[in-house]
Chains A and B, each alone.
Chain A
Amino acid sequence: MASAPDLSQLNWVTTRVDAALGWARKFSIFQYPFVTACCGMEYMATATSHYDMDRFGAGFPRFSPRQADVLFVVGTISQKMAPVLRRVYDQMAEPKWVVAFGVCTCTGGFYDDYTTVLGIDTIMPVDVYIPGCPPRPENVLDGLMKLQDKIAQGAGTTLAAGLSVRPPELQVPHRPDAHL
């Protein structure tokens, strides 16, 4: 004689699967480095043996966005480059995450001109911001660990096309008459 299924038991099983998935994903980050500028040197320093990003399971860059989980945007993005970057992001399969590496990708940095995108979060969602010009490798590893925490908490944390919310310390008011 079958009894009614114990829902709490099923819920318990489901959450454990999610946790196991998150745990597996956070240690097998296949990254797509989109390197455009000087931050790339610091990215390389972090990726290679001295700091060894591979300790965190993120040592294997994939050069096809379709095989990548995390998009590392490393360096200044110009208006001309923005459609290319957005297309790379759109080509990545879910679940996917985005790391803004360096202050140019966070806010535009000291570029406030006709040609620079003022933060890649104006054109795509961002999960982790790593400010710095360029950020130290320790800073990058800290950002990577924060990303791992985010992945472990659950897949699909990336916001939909509505774009992410900038952390308060990175919010810069637009001043159209700043040059006057």
Chain B
Amino acid sequence: MPALAHTVQAKFASQLIATQRYREQETAVIHREGLLPIARWLKSDAAMSFDFLMDISAVDYLKFGRTLSSAPTLKTPSPLPYYMTPKPTAETWQRGVSNDDYRFDVVYHLFSSRHAHRLRLRIPLTSADPVVDSLTGIWASANWYEREIWDMFGIRFTGHPNLRRILLYEEFQGHPLRKDYPINKRQPILKTPANAANSP
């Protein structure tokens, strides 16, 4: 199986932060400036022809990996079975970006129905500037995914034609899947004496 992420690396070396390969799943970590050219090439190139954007999601790494107990899994796969793999330490975790302000990842899952291969793109973003280009011009399915990520994480997509909340209501304040959203905070539309106690 050709290493797709390495092909991306060879062509877009300046935009690439890292490549990962874990159990036949390939990931390319890229700068957000490279998203549009890389996405256009991944869709149009005959050897790639990623015609299906399966999913877009986001991750909030607000406290993730900052302590030893919450350190993530090893970057490189271990030859040992998972239950014998050494406990990961904080030092094994390299985000690929040096900025201390790093907080979010936007994750794209691509699939090619011609070659039946998959690729994952990850874009690290900072908490001060959580903005990335919209892919709606390349894959139409990006439209609702990006609205959902805006709704849940407050990450903005420049160039999106209709970046409104998709699941929650317009009156909702904040973005509930951010790790600093209070877990018990409720914002009822229909306010009554009985639910006022749980409301801000």
Interface residues of A (CB under 8 A from B): 79-80, 82-83, 86, 112-115, 117-118, 121-123, 163, 174-179
What residues on A are CB-neighbors of B185 within 8 Å? 114
- Contact: A123 with B195, CB < 8 Å? yes
Q: Which residues from A are CB-within-8-Å of B181?
A: 114
Count of chain B residues near A, Cβ 8 A:
18
**Can you list 28 A-B contacts with CB-CB less than 8 angstroms, sorted by A residue number?**
A79-B188, A79-B189, A79-B190, A80-B189, A82-B189, A82-B190, A83-B189, A112-B184, A113-B176, A113-B183, A114-B186, A117-B188, A118-B186, A118-B198, A121-B194, A122-B192, A122-B194, A122-B195, A123-B190, A123-B192, A123-B195, A163-B192, A163-B194, A176-B184, A178-B183, A178-B184, A179-B183, A179-B184
Bound CA–CA A122/B199 (angstroms)? 12
Compute the total of residue contacts between A and B using a CB distance below 8 Å: 53
Residues from chain A with a CB closer than 8 A to the CB of B193 are 163
B192 to chain A, nearest CB (A): 6
A175 contact set on B, CB distance < 8 A: 184
Q: Complex Cα distance A39/B105, Å?
A: 36
With A113-B183, A115-B176 in contact, is A83–B190 under 8 Å at CB?
yes
B136 interface residue per 8 A CB criterion: no
B188 near A82 (CB under 8 angstroms)?
yes
Q: A82-B189, A112-B184 are in contact. Are A117 and B168 (CB under 8 A)?
A: no
Complexed CA–CA distance, A113 and B181 (Å): 11
Docked CA distance A70–B181 (Å) = 38
Q: How far is the CB of B167 from chain A (nearest CB, A)?
A: 8
Question: Judging by beta carbons under 8 Å apart, are B176 and A114 in contact?
Answer: yes
For residue A96, give the distance in angstroms from its CB to the closest CB of chain B: 18
Enumerate the 8 nearest inter-chain pairs by beta-carbon distance, A residue then B residue, closest first: A122-B194, A122-B195, A179-B183, A82-B190, A114-B176, A83-B190, A163-B194, A79-B188
| Chain B neighbourhood of A79, CB < 8 A | 169, 186-190
Residue on A nearest B197 in the bound complex, by CB? A174
Kindly identify, within residues 133 to 191 of chain B, every residue whose CB is under 8 Å from any CB belonging to chain A: 168-169, 176, 181, 183-190
